[in-house]
Every structure is written in structure tokens, then in C-alpha cells.
Amino acid sequence: MESNNTKQKVFSGIQPTGTFTLGNYIGAVRNWPLLQDEYDCIYSVVDQHALTVRQDPATLRKRTYEAAAMLLASGIDPDKSLVFIQSHNPVHSQLSWILACNTQFGELSRMTQFKDKSAKHPDNVNGGLFTYPVLMAADILAYNAHQVPVGVDQKQHVELARNIAQRFNANYGETFVMPEALIPKVGAKIMSLQEPTKKMSKSDENPNAFILLLDDEAAIMRKFKRAVTDSDGVVKYDVENKPGVSNLMGIYNVFTGKSFEEIEKEFDGAGYGVLKEAVGSCVYQTLKPVQDRYNAILSDKAYLEKVLKEGSEKAIAYSQRLLNKVYRKVGFVQFK
């Protein structure tokens, strides 16, 4: 990526914690390539964040390659965007310490995901789990990103990054751009197919609750056919009273571009079975080319490593300039 000073910068990252779900794809990855012409985009596989939960080293390495391959397969062009692995750029963790010293304990203790993950992993409530939102702020602020594409559940992290940047700027002078959350207008939060009042997650104990991007046609169709709806048989968009049907309609809306009114007319009197089959079919037709590209990229390890190495070199070169500025502002000794 050649930096263009007239363009705003975008940063977003995704953890290498297994195959992406349909929710990851719709809420994040699918939208990232669409930003490449309008913004200078920086995308990272954030492997350091994954360590807040105990990881098997060999599995983490494998999944990091897979996550990078999926980003490229989804349409991210390394000639237009930076694609790199977070741990390959030491600036993130170096900046994180300084930002941590400008973050209040109370701010971190209020973070929703800390509470959720602490409850899920009570045997491993580690310091990284508590402070990782500061590392996330460093990810964003290291590139002076203007926009951060996130799902609605991640908005709190961008707000924390803004608070930290604002505090640092007030104490040391204008340094950081104030980032803003860039939330997709549609599909920002895809819900579980089995419990449509909660977010789709691959950690769900019920495998029918989520679609994985590498699921084959049979698995996709089966999971949609088993999706929970309701008993009245009317295809109508009403999130509060018909969450299951509304979730299916939301997915169909994303992949077809049809409005909810058009979808209601299309399936008027048709019943849920027809809707589920149509949704499953359009999801598979969209994912199949992505799956093919993913398999081709993952099998060419030399190409994948070349992209990641070049991406990290450019990321370091850009973010190091900002880190030097931060070091100077806080009073660290620097030699010419």
C-alpha cells in the first residue's frame, strides 16, 4: 500500500481463533475490501490478542496463516492495503505500555468483554485479559486511523481508544487522530441460528447455531433448515417479536441487496421453509468462490509469507515514526 495523504486511514484487526463465522464475514471481513479505494487501509491478524485465552502454540501458528489467507481470499488486495501479523510489529506493544499509563483502572474494569470472558474462563482471569483494550487502542492509534470498522459490540473499544487519545493529547499536545467506529449499516450483528437473541459465535456449544466460512453446501443448507423461527409462518421483519425470521431476512438482505419490504413480498405466503432454502443457497453461492481462493492462497505458503513480510515492513516503517514522536513527547531520551 502506498500511503496517500489525501485519504483517511482505516485500521481493523481480527483474531486467529479458528475459522471465521458468517457473522465475522458479514459484520467485518466482507466490508473491508470495499473500503480499499476510499481509504488507506491497514488490516492485521491480531495474534497477541489471542493470548488472553490459553492457546496451543502449533494451533495458533496454523490459525494465523489461515486468518491471513481468509482476509486475502475475501478480497483484500495487498497492493492497496497493508496486511500483516500484529506480533511482527513491535510498535503495537511498545505503544501499548505508554497508553496503559494514560488509561484509568475504572475504564478497563467497565469493559463488557472483560466481564464476559472472566465469567467464561474463571480459571484464567489474567492481566492481559484486563489490559488488552489498551493494546487494541495501540493497534488503532499507531497508524493514526480515522475510521475503525467494527461490529456494534466492539464500539466500546473504539470509544476507549478515543478517551485515551484525548487524554494523551491534553497532557502532551496534539499527537493522535481521534478514531471513530465505522459500523456497517446492515449486517452489523448476525445472530445465532438457534438462539436468535444472542450473537452468532463459533464458541457456541450447538454447531447448528453458526455458519463457518469453510462449511460445505450440505452443512450450510442443513444449518439454515434447522434455524429457529416462530410458529406464525409469516415472513416479516420485526426484530423484537420475530428475532429468528428477522435474522434470516437480515442475512438475505446482505447477500441479495433486497430491502426488507422486497423480501416480505418475495416470501409472502411461502412459509419459512422456502425462506430458509433461499437464504442458505445465496450464502453458499457467495462463499464458494471465497473458499476456492482461500484454498489456493493457503496452499501457496511462499506467496502468503511474502505478503505478510512486506506488510509488516511497511507497517513498522509507518508506525515507528509515530512512536518516535510519542517517545519524544513523554520525555524518553532519544539519540540522533
**Full set of structural domains in the chain with CATH:** 9-188+301-330 (3.40.50.620), 207-294 (1.10.240.10)
- pLDDT in the model for residue 69: 97
Q: How confident is the model at residue 185 (pLDDT cuts 50, 70, 90)?
A: low
User: Each residue of 285-335: pLDDT tens digit?
Assistant: 999 999 999 999 999 999 999 999 999 999 999 999 999 999 999 999 988
**pLDDT per position as a tens digit, 5-61:** 679 999 999 999 888 899 888 888 888 999 999 999 999 999 999 999 889 999 999
pLDDT tens for 212-234 read 999 999 999 999 999 999 998 99
pLDDT value of position 270: 92
% the chain with pLDDT above 70:
97
What is the per-residue pLDDT across 127-169, written as a single tens digit (0 to 9) for each? Answer: 888 999 999 999 999 999 999 998 777 889 999 999 999 999 9
Active site members: 117, 199, 202
pLDDT on residue 4? 52
The 3-class secondary structure across the chain, one letter per residue, is CCCCCCCCEEEEEECCCCCCEHHHHHHHHCCCHHHCCCCEEEEEECHHHHCCCCCCHHHHHHHHHHHHHHHHHCCCCCCCEEEEEHHHCCHHHHHHHHHHCCCCHHHHHCCHHHHHHHHHCCCCCCHHHHHHHHHHHHHHHCCCCCEEECCHHHHHHHHHHHHHHHHHHHHHCCCCCCCEEECCCCCCCCECCCCCCCECCCCCCCHHHCCECCCCHHHHHHHHHCCCCCCCCCCCCCCCCCHHHHHHHHHHHHHHCCCHHHHHHHCCCCCHHHHHHHHHHHHHHHHHHHHHHHHHHHHCHHHHHHHHHHHHHHHHHHHHHHHHHHHHHHCCCCCC
Average pLDDT, the chain: 93
Predicted local confidence at residue 264, as pLDDT? 96
Average pLDDT over residues 254-273: 94
Where residue 1 falls among pLDDT bands split at 50, 70, 90?
A: low
Report the pLDDT averaged over residues 65-70.
97
